[in-house]
Amino acid sequence: MFPARTVTTRDAARPTLGRPSTRHADGAVAEVVVSEAWNGWRTASVRVTDIEEVHWRQPSGAPCAMNHGYVSCGNVPAGLLPHDCCDTPHRLLVCVLKCHAVPHVFAGLVHRADSVASRS
């Protein structure tokens, strides 16, 4: 239920130039745990760079707006998030919870969602 990779040094986790990094100290792209719903128990680990159209959304019953985005079905390990697969590529709406992400990675997603919200 935790990210596949974690930052091992304190300096590597610091944001740079006001925009948090999505890479770890070793240069690997960070991964984050996503679920199909804010209160869903099924999770999958995906690369942060695979999450598109990051935005704030408050699902029914949720206590506040939460970080959401879209991930291509092909970038989610098979069988981890329930959905109907067809022959055509499609995207899944996923939720990213703060408790499932490394702080600097979640900060990057917040930055992306805030930039979308400020354009609206």
Residue 108 scores a pLDDT above 80: yes
Residue 19 scores a pLDDT above 50: no
Whole-structure pTM value:
0.73
What SS3 class is residue 63? coil
Quick one: what percent of the chain has pLDDT higher than 70?
69
Residue 18 scores a pLDDT above 50: no
pLDDT in tens, 47-67: 999 999 999 999 999 999 999
For residue 47, give the nearest of 105, 95, 99 by alpha carbon.
105
Find where tokens 């879209």 sit: 70
